[in-house]
Structure 1
Amino acid sequence: MGCVQVGECLTAPSWYFPRKAMDLESEDKQTKADGGSGSDLGVDPQMPVLRINQLDAFELDSTLEQLVWTQFSQCFQHCRPGLLTPVEPELRALLQLLLWRFTLYSNSATVGQSLLGLRYHSMLSSSPHHYRPLSRRQKLALALLSVGPRWLRERSHSLLLCLGLGSSAGVPPATGSAGTLQQGLRRSLAFISGVAQLAGLINFLVFLRKGSHPMLAERIVGTRAVFSQPNTGRDVTYQYMNRELLWHGFAEFLIFLLPLINTSKVKAAVYSFMFSREGRDEEGAREGPGLWKECGLCGEWPTMPHTVGCQHVFCYYCIKSHAIADAYLTCPKCGAPAGQPVPVKLEVEMSAS
């Protein structure tokens, strides 16, 4: 009997526990309505996310916004210059809202977070060990706190001018009560901006200490980044780190070394090693100055031919530009030290046709 009773309890339908079944059903409906799925139940919101992952997600989002704006502005490159300048803040805000609609509003994650396997988790959930997507109010608040302050900062001067509380170029500042109101409003805006920047700085320092809420808007809304899939911690092995450090060190060494290498001297040294200097001099003496038909640098017919003390001839502009770039220039053909360019005369052979 005891075994039968235990089996009955284990296989009892949901109407045996009406209150618990209703709670689970309502929670599942709310999760689906907010954009969640059944697989989200396996995500542990308590698993900490690396700070670098959260910062990289914001960098990816900023890069995407800039890329979208660049592509959008290129559509008007053949129009009148400055066409988008009067409404640029509004257009940027509109593009950000479009990105928000198809990313954060749809699946509680931005593009950068999706690429790094992250998404937002609502901290207003009653069960801290179960994932809960953002509600619509949280998504709207996050969009307003992300887009609104930036738009107000770019449009503050224009708004003051529209309200008659600002001063433009060529217009003397107002006096009396109007001037006092303008100064008071400007000081208030400057104070609010300073307080917001200070709050953002304090929030970032707290983020570096605790590892959550890199942006002040996330802390205000009550959300933080968690992994979108269970047990997806970022594992960086020492072998990978050593390889990256070695490669970066080698790249920095090459960046420092390459500008110090004189490619002309290296080329001349290799050429003189492969072809002996005596053989090249004998060949030049055998041909004679009347048969010089090729510049030693560009390989074309020498224009304003000059020589630098050896048996080879060069265009004036070729040898002069190389001499200016390298004070210790050598002949690229034979490796002899190059002196001052001296003009030579070439005898052109005319063959009867």
Structure 2
Amino acid sequence: MSDSQFVSRINQLDAVQLDNEIYKVLRGQAEEVTKYFAPGKAVKWKPEIDVLVKYLIWNYSLKKNSTTFGQQLLNLSYKNLDRRKALLLFVLSSVPNYLRERFINENFIFSRLPTAYQRSRYKGYVDQVDNFLHLLNFIWSFFFLYYGNQSRFVEKILGLRNYSSDMNRPRSIGYSYMTRELLWHGLIELFTIGLPMIDLKVVQRLWNDMWVPKKKEITIVTSCKLESNALCAYCNQLPIFPRWAGCPHVFCYYCLEALFLTMDPYRCPLCNNQLYYKNVKSCLNT
């Protein structure tokens, strides 16, 4: 493709994505309308409703303006699109999905077949065709990345190519928007890296030491009595390999080991007593 006809790949992909999002919005509005119908009525005719929504989108976009709504938003259009190709584009984009949904629904088509063998056989054929079409679209995506045009295989079949309607118009770049995006992504990376490195329990303890009135010192006990409903003072779960470090509360082995790796002595989050690693004992042996 010559430079004068170059169309960015990302713009073509964005146009297809915008078309899909517009369809989903209108399909959601149609579901809001049909939810007041009798139960099961709208579900029975769901494929037909989907085709009707796609037809309305096609009628007011490709049929009248030779561009889809997504292309109009990005100043793109099809080259050499006539009425016949526009109709074929609608048929090839909508009919296969409609047939797939109808054939996959065994109660609508396959239930008319006389034997279970025939039902499973024809359903297998439909699944194979469906898988082949998906594989074809997947392979064509690599050709699109190489050649840079015709993002969908149906465009290749009809010989449709994208071109920009404002090729000679200078593109304006919002540097203020780019600055905000760079700042935002920088903050996200900072929070993503920094937050896991902050020990919130230590921050809470420092806050309590500064603003919360200190409690009276609790006498350090010399034994640990493990009750059936005892919970870890740090994770508030049933203690795993329960340990005791001098205060009346019980800790998990892993919680206490991790806490003493960060600081020694460590203050109990419940009674604010200072705990020392040298006093750690197993509650199972006392």
Once residues 102 and 131 of structure 2 are traced to their aligned partners in structure 1, the CA distance between those partners, rounded to angstroms, is 17
TM-score by length of 1: 0.53
How far off is 1:255 after superposition?
A: 3.0
Once residues 137 and 236 of structure 1 are traced to their aligned partners in structure 2, the CA distance between those partners, rounded to angstroms, is 38
Distance 1:182 1:77, change over 3 A: closer
How far off is 1:135 after superposition?
A: 1.3
Q: Is the 8 A contact 2:102 2:108 kept in 1?
A: no
What value does the CA root-mean-square deviation take over the aligned residues? 4.3
Distance 1:63 1:77, change over 3 A: same
Once residues 33 and 163 of structure 2 are traced to their aligned partners in structure 1, the CA distance between those partners, rounded to angstroms, is 37
Matches within 5 A, 1:254-269: 254-258=191-195, 261-263=198-200, 265-269=202-206
Once residues 108 and 126 of structure 2 are traced to their aligned partners in structure 1, the CA distance between those partners, rounded to angstroms, is 14
Unaligned runs of 5+ in 2: 220-231, 238-250, 260-265, 273-286
Where 1:225 maps in the other structure, the secondary structure is strand
1:230 aligns with 2:167: yes
Q: Is the 8 A contact 1:157 1:166 kept in 2?
A: no
1:113 aligns with 2:71: yes
1:93 equivalent among 25, 30, 51: 51
Q: Is the 8 A contact 1:207 1:214 kept in 2?
A: yes
Unaligned runs of 5+ in 1: 1-43, 123-133, 286-307, 311-319, 330-334, 342-353
How far off is 1:324 after superposition?
A: 2.1
Distance 1:77 1:162, change over 3 A: closer
State the number of aligned residues.
236
1:64 is matched with 22
Query: Between Structure 1 and Structure 2, whose CA radius of gyration is higher?
Result: 1
Where 2:161 maps in the other structure, the secondary structure is strand
Distance 1:73 1:182, change over 3 A: closer
Distance 1:322 1:107, change over 3 A: farther
Where 2:6 maps in the other structure, the secondary structure is coil
Percent sequence identity is 29
1:324 equivalent among 219, 236, 253: 236
Matches within 5 A, 1:1-353: 46-77=4-35, 81-122=39-80, 134-158=81-105, 162=109, 166=113, 173-174=116-117, 179=118, 183=121, 185-186=122-123, 188-232=125-169, 247-258=184-195, 261-263=198-200, 265-270=202-207, 272-273=209-210, 275=211, 280-281=213-214, 324=236, 337-339=268-270
How far off is 1:120 after superposition?
A: 1.4
How far off is 1:77 after superposition?
A: 4.1
In structure 1, what residue type is equivalent to 2:236? I
Where 1:75 maps in the other structure, the secondary structure is helix
